[in-house]
Chains A and B, each alone.
Chain A
Amino acid sequence: DAGVIQSPRHEVTEMGQEVTLRCKPISGHDYLFWYRQTMMRGLELLIYFNNNVPIDDSGMPEDRFSAKMPNASFSTLKIQPSEPRDSAVYFCASSPSRVAKNIQYFGAGTRLSVL
């Protein structure tokens, strides 16, 4: 299996621009998670989906952030408008059903820099 695939690997944008991060989970996994990693706050869960349905978005920092999962093989995290404080590494992870030991498999992350 190719694992969780995220794109782009790096993104540099200017303040005020829209940013879209993409994720392809491992085929057959029911859960998809979006995390943000910063030096100040560490790894934070932003939102997660079960069978394409958002279950918990309490970690989404502001209305500028939105996430969608239109089908089982694709998810996006959008920031509009972006701000310098959004600069971070954003990870996507997927997990099989709960009976499969709750293990989350991470992508390589997208490093976002907002200038």
Chain B
Amino acid sequence: AQTVTQSQPEMSVQEAETVTLSCTYDTSESNYYLFWYKQPPSRQMILVIRQEAYKQQNATENRFSVNFQKAAKSFSLKISDSQLGDTAMYFCAFMKYGTDKLIFGTGTRLQVFP
């Protein structure tokens, strides 16, 4: 069975600085997808970024980028130029190719300070 581990329950960063959230996963599959979702205080889960395991190039979305290390089974999220609106819970998630089931980590609570 696949598992997703987020070892940082809480993180904090000052506005405009850069922060990196860690995620590791365990799988024997070679084809899969990885996601970062954001859950702000409003509670709604919002997709931040998505990575396909067969792509070596790291995904980027504006200020958000990932460091995908397939051999190490690591998928970290880097937030550049942090903004107050980035304050939220961040969940890393795994989906095996050919399935539709997301497996979530336990989340990292990020606080951005002015």
| B44 touches which of A33, A43, A55, A108 (Cβ 8 Å) | A108
The distance in angstroms between the C-alpha atoms of A95 and B45, with both chains bound, is 13
Q: With A50-B100, A56-B101 in contact, do A42 and B43 touch (Cβ < 8 Å)?
A: no
- Please report whether the interface of chain A is mostly helix, strand, loop or mixed according to DSSP: strand
- B6's nearest neighbour on chain A, judged by CB, is A42
The distance in angstroms between the C-alpha atoms of A95 and B33, with both chains bound, is 15
Question: What residues of chain A lie closer than 8 Å to B50, measured between beta carbons?
Answer: 101-103
Interface residue range, chain B: 10 to 19
Complex contact B104–A43 (CB within 8 A): yes
| A108 touches which of B33, B42, B102, B105 (Cβ 8 Å) | B42
Which B residues have a C-beta under 8 Å from some C-beta of A?
33, 35, 37, 42-47, 50, 91, 95, 100-102, 104-107
Which A residues have a C-beta under 8 Å from some C-beta of B?
31, 33, 42-43, 45, 48, 50, 55-56, 89, 91, 93, 95, 98, 101-109, 111
